[in-house]
Chain A
Amino acid sequence: MFNLIRNEQMKLFLQKSTWIMLIALVLLAFFGVFLTRPDGDEAKYTDANWRATLEKENKKIQKEIKDIDSKANDQYIQYMMQNYEVNDYYLKNDIKPLNYGAWQYVLDGKDFLSFLSLLTIIVAAGIVANEYRWGSIKLLLIRPITRTKILLSKYISVLLFALIGLVLFMIVAWIAGAIFAGVDGLNPKVAVYSNGKVVYDSIIATVFEDYGFKLVNLVMMATFAFAISTLFRNSALAIGISIFLMMAGSTIIAFLMDKSWAKYILFANTDLTQYTTGVPIFKGTTLGFSVTVLLVYYVIFTVVSWISFTKRDVAGS
């Protein structure tokens, strides 16, 4: 098994396209947060002025919320409200907030992780279909190794690629943060909004929690692309469908909102942060419900790819 995974990694990393994807990821990790961060928006908190700065920020937030009437901006209002409460927490507990630094940079970088999902989808969609396209499937499947093992080694390789991308992304983002914003201690604590209240926690724990939630979506979409690619033996089709669904997922949910079965749609359940920091998309769903739905989808995807890979003839060219 180890040798099979080594083979898959060798094939993956000897293709130019893999390196182009990783370079794009590194560039995004380096400049992404820097370019999208509102310029000079976050104040420098000094010992002398941090209370005044926080109060000023909160006044601004209150004014902004008052100006927005539209209900369509629910999400934004909620985001602002959370910021308000976090600021309030610092004031009430008399804690000087952390200045923007390398770890916050990494934390904000989580919004760019959907790009890593996209890359993982591309890899997952190609890893089986390409063997058919190259014709090498005929040399791969005549070895004294069961097809199940070959498929499993490919799936593990996809997850390994995502893991490598993730580690690379975090390291580069941290370095970029250190360069652009400076280092604020090795494991600083911050106040964050979690499970309906503000908690004061280590920022590294927060980073891993937030990234972990993002990975749920990544793994589900990669597994979906992998299944489509083994079923149709066509990587373009698998990439197309998966990326379309990933992009359109929330739109589809909004569209089918009033249907009773809509809560069983995959995309209604991939964002588990709806149960920690946000509001559940559907009333009455719980974390347990979403995890169960995700597991069912996961089993369907893996069984589909396993059956189509192990039971079907390799015919034609």
Chain B
Amino acid sequence: MTENAMELVDVRKSIGSKQIIKGLTFSIKKGEVFGFIGPNGAGKTTTIRMMVGLMKLTGGEIRIGGKSIVSEYKEAAREIGAIVENPELYPFMTGWQNLVHFARMNKDVTKARIKEVVELVGLEKAVNEKVGKYSLGMRQRIGIAQALLHKPSVLILDEPTNGLDPTGIREMRQHIRKLAEEDNVAVIISSHLLSEIELMCDRVGMIQNGKMIALQSVRETEKPDKPALQDVILEAQPIDKARSLLYAHSKVEARVDGDLLRFQCEKEKIPELIAHLVGEDIAIYQVGAGKATLEEKFFDLIGENTIV
């Protein structure tokens, strides 16, 4: 058995003469949460639609658990649970009726399993109301519920936190991590909320103009061969004096960002720099150290002026 839950091999899609997807190759491991990001029109939704069989591939291959979505559709589709764009269920039916409807389309989904899924997403109270009366957050939950009914090995979620309140977002995050860690489900999340992706995902693929432009682990460990440079944020007054002092002391080039100074230096050097600034009568309000956020990486890669 392969360790990959889903594989894309040179996937291409053209509509008319226009190439939308220009050869995507990547794979998602079992138990991995994979973030799929990119500006609007980059091809995220098209790729997801091809993964679930809503669109046909112009070229290449998508395999789910080793089964081709093209030639073994039924076997492959059995492994997938998905929400494509918004979770649009039947508004005139109750949540329960909707779930029964989709349960009938798979083999071996029992009433007990439906109940279990309803509890998992916390919809016990609302399940007998019509879906048309649901809030966006509740719709998101029932959407997740229908995707989980048949215990898929790959879960594909488009904007899963859209419309959720902060508590809901946190719960969703916990659900997704739990599914990945305990049930070994591969989760593919597309979102434009980059901070959300950063918190949830193990790995991120960035797509632009139908091509994968970056594929990297979120929880990347520092590479040992480089001197460990760290991003430092410093709130100090007066800010301009602090900036020139930093440069004079150890050739550190800091950037002014509002009230903050941002610069990079080795971790061991930070206490020394702070001591120096304090000695020169600079008032220090806060010091922070961290890695570049996903958002910064994102803009580095696609350029600042692109609409996300």
Contact = CB atoms under 8 A, between A and B. Distances in A.
Contacts of A16: 92
B97 interface: yes
Chain B binding surface SS class: loop
Interface string B78-108: 1010111111111111000100011011100
Contact of A15 (B92, B102, B105, B106): B92
A139 interface: yes
B297 interface: no
Contacts of B54: 138, 141-142, 313-315
Given A11-B93, A134-B91, A138-B54, A144 B74 contact: yes
Contact of A146 (B46, B74, B97, B106): B74
Given A14-B92, A138-B88, A315 B55 contact: yes
Contacts of B123: none
B164 interface: no
A146 B78 CA distance: 12
Contact of B101 (A7, A134, A141, A146): A7
A144 B88 contact: no
B88 A11 contact: no
B39 interface: no
A255 B53 CA distance: 48
Helix, strand, loop or mixed for chain A's interface? loop
A98 to B, nearest CB: 47
B49 interface: yes
A4 interface: yes
Contacts of A146: 73-74
Contacts of A3: 104-105
Contacts of B115: none
Given A141-B54, A144-B74, A144-B106, A10 B101 contact: yes
Given A14-B92, A138-B54, A143 B85 contact: no
A134 B89 CA distance: 7
B56 to A, nearest CB: 6
B84 A138 contact: yes
B68 interface: no
A179 B80 CA distance: 58
Given A14-B97, A144-B75, A136 B88 contact: yes
A3 B107 CA distance: 10
A36 interface: no
Interface in A203-247: none
Contacts of A65: none
Nearest to A8: B101
B206 interface: no
For chain B, give the interface size range. 20 to 34
A131 B80 CA distance: 20
A135 B86 contact: yes
Given A11-B93, A15-B92, A139-B88, A313 B56 contact: yes
Given A4-B104, A314-B49, A11 B85 contact: no
B52 interface: yes
A6 interface: yes
B58 to A, nearest CB: 10
Interface string B145-173: 01000000000000000000000000000
A16 to B, nearest CB: 7
B102 A11 contact: no
A52 B214 CA distance: 99
Nearest to B158: A138
B136 interface: no
Interface centre among A135, A142, A145 (most CB of B within 10 A): A142
B102 A139 contact: yes
B77 interface: yes
Given A144-B75, A144-B77, A144-B78, A139 B53 contact: no
Contact of B82 (A4, A11, A135, A142): A142
Interface string A121-162: 000000000000011101111111110000000000000000
Interface of B: 15, 46, 49, 52-56, 73-75, 77-78, 80, 82-93, 97, 101-102, 104-106, 146
Given A142-B54, A142-B82, 20 more contacts: A4-B104, A6-B104, A11-B101, A14-B97, A16-B92, A136-B88, A138-B84, A138-B85, A139-B83, A139-B88, A142-B52, A142-B53, A143-B102, A144-B74, A144-B77, A145-B74, A146-B73, A313-B49, A314-B54, A315-B54
Which 7 interchain pairs have the tightest Cβ spacing?
A135-B88, A143-B105, A3-B104, A144-B77, A314-B54, A313-B55, A144-B78
